[in-house]
Chain A
């Protein structure tokens, strides 16, 4: 039997202050059978601590993708992007902004900060579902990160 390319489980770190939204993302990934591990933190400060294995995340695994909301308490999404992209150890981590903000200033700033992708959460549920499905497939099946 030939070696079919199996989707490998991809580890997402979701940074989202709204618990209900985090749950919607988790449900949409699960229902679309996207092979994944999903960790969730609620603000930018915790996200940076998680990525740097600072307390209480000393044993947190390195995620493959960062799913990042922009409007976050304490350290906001833009600061997280800047910190990650200026960190020699973290800068290759793909960051996908997942936000309800479609402000041009947010988009411009995020790309200036070298974000990898910018997605606006659709208000319509079917489209939201479809977006999470495509996002999951793209990053788990098609995207080839550096080894």
Chain B
């Protein structure tokens, strides 16, 4: 409650608790004490005009608590009248909508992210389409003129572009699925998952003389089996493609316990990555190299998988000294709405963790 000038005459315990101020700090002050600076002057002008006209004002006001945090309060303000009907003060009933507001803000930022993704997707799908339509015309001309070698070269370009389109679509679907599908956590032995993933790389590893080392200090971790396999496949694929341009290349895959969670890492000894790209490479459709085929989505998927586990993904790298990609699996469900903790902690059989279908193999 306030007087006609807006000075606080009464507050309940709840207002004290929400705002972080004691009763004696609030009584006699105006609401400027909790003003957050979020609203323009006109916002409060409208409020005053309404209540001084004897009407009820309803709206959501952003205040700042004593610690400086923003509070979103659904507010109804009604005038108080004396027996003659004159307005002597106001009563304000407020409901803490901070959580709702935060959820709405998250939704807005997700929507902006989605919109950006749609544009990028259309760009990355249109690119190969331009190649396909262009070279089909040249292919036609070669058929007319009987230039078969040139026709083959054009057909190759068309084929590569269509493969790229298919990979992009596969990756987009995967990226979206990680955001939507449930992440089902189970205690998983890392070694069988690793062996399942590495199988498909064996011909490449052998051909290029790449040595694989494992250091599983933590033999198991809590993760979604399919997503864990995908992360490993992706990071090992990257290490082969970008991190093996040295003599006697070695890729080290390791796990280590950190707190109650487990950190998974894949390290190579290649050229490394300049620190200014360390964040950018995890963004969707960002690529550093044009000489290796890729969709620019691999690391975005890796990061999203880490986040779906309540963890994070990052890179440690000094140019010239290799790159080490890390994923933290905290071992706890991050968000009860998104993940479903599996009460059964029994080991998941290795066959559940077979290789995912995404083609990320480097070109031979």
Contacts and interface: CB of A to CB of B under 8 A. Distances in A.
Interface of A: 17-21, 24, 27, 42-43, 71, 73-74, 99-103, 105-106, 121-125, 128
Given A100-B123, A123-B126, A123-B130, A20 B288 contact: no
Interface in B260-298: 277, 285, 287-290
Contacts, number: 63
B140 to A, nearest CB: 10
Interface in B84-126: 116, 119-120, 122-124, 126
Contact of B130 (A21, A27, A71, A102): A21
Given A125-B134, A128-B134, A18 B287 contact: no
B21 interface: no
Which secondary structure dominates chain B's binding surface? helix
Contacts of A21: 127, 130-131
Given A123-B126, A123-B129, A17 B134 contact: no
Contact of A101 (B119, B135, B137, B277): B119
Contact of B133 (A17, A73, A99, A124): A124
Size range of the chain B interface in the assembly: 20 to 34
Contacts of B133: 123-125, 128
A24 B277 contact: no
Interface in B127-145: 127, 129-131, 133-138
B277 A100 contact: no
Contacts of B120: 101, 103
Contact of A18 (B116, B122, B127, B289): B127
B257 interface: no
B155 interface: no
A101 B123 contact: yes
Nearest to A42: B290
Given A42-B290, A100-B126, A123-B129, A20 B135 contact: yes
Contact of A73 (B123, B124, B129, B288): B288
A71 B138 contact: no
Nearest to B291: A42
Given A27-B138, A43-B290, A71-B285, A103 B130 contact: no
Interface in B179-221: none
Contacts of B122: 102
Given A27-B138, A125-B137, A18 B126 contact: no
